[in-house]
Every structure is written in C-alpha cells, then in structure tokens.
Amino acid sequence: MKKKIAILGSTGSIGRTLLDIIKKDKKNFSILLLTANKNYKLLLKQAKIFKVKNLIITDKKYFDIINKKNQNKKINIFNNFQDFNLIFKKKIDYCMSSIVGLDGLDPTLKIIKYTKNIAIANKEAIICGWNLIQKELIKNNTEFIPVDSEHFSIWFALKNDFSNSIKELFITASGGPFLDFKLSKFKKIKVTDALKHPNWKMGKKITIDSSTMMNKVFEVIEAKNIFNLDYKKIYILTHPKSYIHAIVKYNSGLIKIIAHDTNMSIPIFNTLYNNSKKKIKCNKLNLNILNDLKLNKINIQKFPLVKILKKLPKKPSLFETVLVSANDELVNLFLNNDIKFTDISKFFLKIINLKEFNKYKTKTPTKISEILKLNNYVRLKINSKSV
C-alpha cells in the first residue's frame, strides 16, 4: 500500500530534496498535498510530476494567478492552512514540515492531528513553540522526528534511551567561513564574505547564522526542548569538515558518535523510511576525516553570541521568540548593508538584556497568537531604532 504524505514548503531546499528521494520510488508514495508561499510555477510543476491533487499557496497574489492557470480544475487549490480538513479525510502516514521561519509554526500545529508521523525541519517552530507542538503530538498520538542533521543524529543515537542516562551531549559546528579568520579583521567582513559557507549550500539567512554561530545557539535550544535535557549537559564543538554531527556520552561511560556526509538527503531519507531496510546511495567511510577531526571548543571572542546560552531560562518561554525575532531582523539589516557584521552580536546582546524583554523569561506561551504578537513587536522595535 502506498504511503500517503504531505509536504509543507515543497518548493524550498528541504522539500525539493525530499521530492528527489521520492522520485526514485514513486510507486510507493501518494502525495496528497504540496504547499508554497509564492513559487507557483515550481509548485505546479511538482504537482504535475507527482500527480498531486491538492495545493496550498499562501500569498494571495500568487494564489489568484495559479487559480487562473488551473482552468480545468483538476487540482484543488487553497489559500490557507484552515483547509486541511477539506484535504485529509483520515490520518496520512507522513508529513514534512519545512516552511521557513515563524510562518511555519501555525501550519505545523494544525497538521499534527492529520498525520501519524511528522518530520519538522522548521527551527523557529521548535524553538518558540515547542510546548504547543508537544501538546499536539501527545493529544493526537503523532510521532515526531527532527530533520536537522544534528538533531536527527541525536534522535537516532537516543532511540529507546532515557534522558537521565545521558551525561553529556555534543553538537558540532563547522565554524562557517570565519573559524580561522583573524579577530582583527572581523569589522571588515562583507556580506559576500559571510555567505561563503565552506561545507553547506543554504539560504542566505541560515548561512549568516552559521557565520555568527547563532544557528548553534538555536540548535542547543532545540536539543534541550526535543530531548528534555538541561542546558548544562549540552556543548558545542567546532568541527570544520561537518562529518561528525553529534556525540552522546552516557552515564555508563559509553559514547555514541553519529557521522554522515555533508548531505541533507541522509537525514531526510531516514525520516521518510524510518525503521525500514531501504538503502541510500552514499560515500564510503571517510577515514581521512575521521583521523583528523579537529574538534575544539568555540572561541567566544570570535563568536560572542554563544554567551547567550548562559542567559536562557530552564523552561520554554516567550524569551526564545525574542531571540529568534531579534536575530532575524539584525541579519536582514546586515544583508541589506545597513549594519556591520560585528553589529549583529553587539546589538543582539544589547537587545536581550533590556528589561522589557527579560520579563518574557518567566512567561510560557499558551497560544500561537502570543508568539506572533511578540515577534512583530520585537521586529518593529528594532526597525524603529528604539533599542
């Protein structure tokens, strides 16, 4: 029987990679839904290739355009995620949630009730709304699988283990383009320099986050949420080759090291074929890298944003939304050449120390509207230059 699946954000890099995997095994899958924000041309192309009958395109302008092109009405086209109930008559087997940014939180929460398994690639959803997601997962008996290479590796290593058996958890960071950069040159870093990631091909926003190491701060928060660990047990190690993704040390003295090539197809493939005997084509074990791992602690002077980890509340709070929103806006300002690279960390650390934002450390989000309202406020505050 064919696996029934849905992909939220099918025109993004994660969605496209997943579809490339499915393309090689089309006979075993039935895609019920694909979604996009604006890229209607690619969305229609994907629908044709995979014979998808339901599409959601959230931008009103492009929704109108795609509707005009769908004159034969062979495809059901919707404009928002409220229409899941019209698409899914019973639970599907698998959903990939890969919409970028906080825009992905609402559809992630809404689709959990309609799927047996959900793979979430959306960092912001896990960071800002984990307690809301967890509540829906439990309520609807839906299994969650993380997609990010580090968190998938940890999830894979921890199968059937309990968090209290873990002594230490290490996630790795390539260090981005500035790992060996002289500190004296950081003030002269240009946008083009920061976008030259040595290992991964990613979008501009996440590439800048990698260059500041903010992406690792976010990954520590994700790991803490997903695996219910204390921040004191989670560490970041720089690892230039991005071959080792996670190291788990147990109270028993045993250590698990999870490695794979710098290829997102591997964690995505494994979320789709969870516990099956399917094989993925991959490279042989790279002994040259294993014999020269170069694992090191982070240089705090170069990457001061990592200091934020000592200021985080123990329980999920609205403060994490402040972090995500502030970072998003500062990265946008840098990409637009409105601030310097070093200003990202300088302004960020100033913002999160403000009393009006620190109060959110004790406030747990109870509904999505609280997260979205705070997100908008932080962005407006930064753009108004009143911080």
- The two tokens of residue 362 are 């004790």
Quickly count: other Cβ atoms within 10 Å of residue 310's Cβ: 7
pLDDT of residue 204: 87
What distance, in Å, lies between the first and last C-alpha atoms of the chain?
Answer: 57
For the segment 254-299, what is each residue's pLDDT rounded down to a tens digit?
999 999 998 999 999 999 998 778 889 889 999 999 999 999 999 9
Residue 1 binned pLDDT confidence (cut-offs 50, 70, 90):
confident
- The two tokens of residue 186 are 């950081």
Average the pLDDT over 163-192 and give the result.
91
Yes or no: say if 47 and 75 are a contact pair by the CB < 8 Å rule: yes
pLDDT of residue 161: 65
For the segment 362-372, what is each residue's pLDDT rounded down to a tens digit?
999 999 999 99
Q: What is the CATH number of domain 313-387?
A: 1.10.1740.10
pLDDT of residue 72: 66
pLDDT of residue 343: 96
Residue 277 vs residue 241, higher pLDDT:
241
Task: Name 234's bridge partners.
Answer: 169
Average the pLDDT over 213-227 and give the result.
95
DSSP label of 11 = T
pLDDT higher than 70, residue 387: no
E runs forming strands in the chain: 3-8, 29-36, 54-57, 76-78, 94-97, 117-120, 143-146, 166-173, 234-238, 244-250, 255-259, 296-297
Check residue 275 and give left, alpha or beta (phi > 0: left; psi -120 to 50: alpha): left
pLDDT of residue 137: 98
pLDDT of residue 70: 77
pLDDT higher than 80, residue 164: no
What does the DSSP assignment read for 303-328? -GGGGGGGG--SS--THHHHHHHHHH
350 to 36, 147, 216, 222, 360: CA distances (angstroms)? 36, 32, 20, 23, 16
pLDDT higher than 60, residue 104: yes
pLDDT of residue 200: 73
**Whole-number mean pLDDT of the chain?**
93
Closest by Cα among 79, 77, 58 to 69? 77
pLDDT of residue 7: 98
Q: Which helix (H) or strand (E) holds 69?
A: helix 60-69
For the segment 7-35, what is each residue's pLDDT rounded down to a tens digit?
999 999 999 999 999 999 999 999 999 99
Q: Which CATH architecture has domain 3-147?
A: 3-Layer(aba) Sandwich (3.40)
- To the nearest whole percent, how much of the chain has pLDDT over 70? 98
pLDDT of residue 383: 85
- To the nearest whole percent, how much of the chain has pLDDT over 90? 84
Residue 13 to residue 329: CA distance in whole angstroms: 22
Average the pLDDT over 69-90 and give the result.
88
Residue 256 to residue 269: CA distance in whole angstroms: 21
Residue 74 to residue 70: CA distance in whole angstroms: 7
Residue 41 to residue 358: CA distance in whole angstroms: 44
pLDDT of residue 273: 93
Residue 293 to residue 175: CA distance in whole angstroms: 13
Closest by Cα among 385, 252, 272, 271 to 330? 385
Task: Give the 3-state secondary structure percentages of the chain, helix then strand then coil, rounded to 5.
Answer: 50, 15, 35
pLDDT of residue 49: 96
Q: What angle do CA 52, 137, 8 make, to 5 degrees?
A: 25
Residue 386 binned pLDDT confidence (cut-offs 50, 70, 90):
low
pLDDT of residue 203: 79
Contacts of residue 204, defined as CB under 8 A and 6 or more positions apart, other chains included, come to: 195, 335
For 92, the 3-state DSSP assignment is strand
pLDDT of residue 163: 62
Task: Name 97's bridge partners.
Answer: 8, 120
Residue 286 to residue 241: CA distance in whole angstroms: 11
Q: Which of 194-198, 220-224, 232-236, 329-333 has the lowest mean pLDDT?
A: 194-198
Yes or no: say if 260 and 149 are a contact pair by the CB < 8 Å rule: yes
Residue 380 to residue 333: CA distance in whole angstroms: 13
Quickly count: other Cβ atoms within 10 Å of residue 300's Cβ: 11
Closest by Cα among 173, 166, 145 to 230? 166
All structural domains of the chain with their residue ranges = 3-147, 148-262+283-310, 313-387
Whether the predicted model's global pTM rises above the 0.85 cut: yes
Residue 337 to residue 341: CA distance in whole angstroms: 9
pLDDT of residue 162: 56
Residue 134 to residue 145: CA distance in whole angstroms: 12
To which residue do tokens 């009103």 refer? 60
Average the pLDDT over 171-181 and give the result.
92
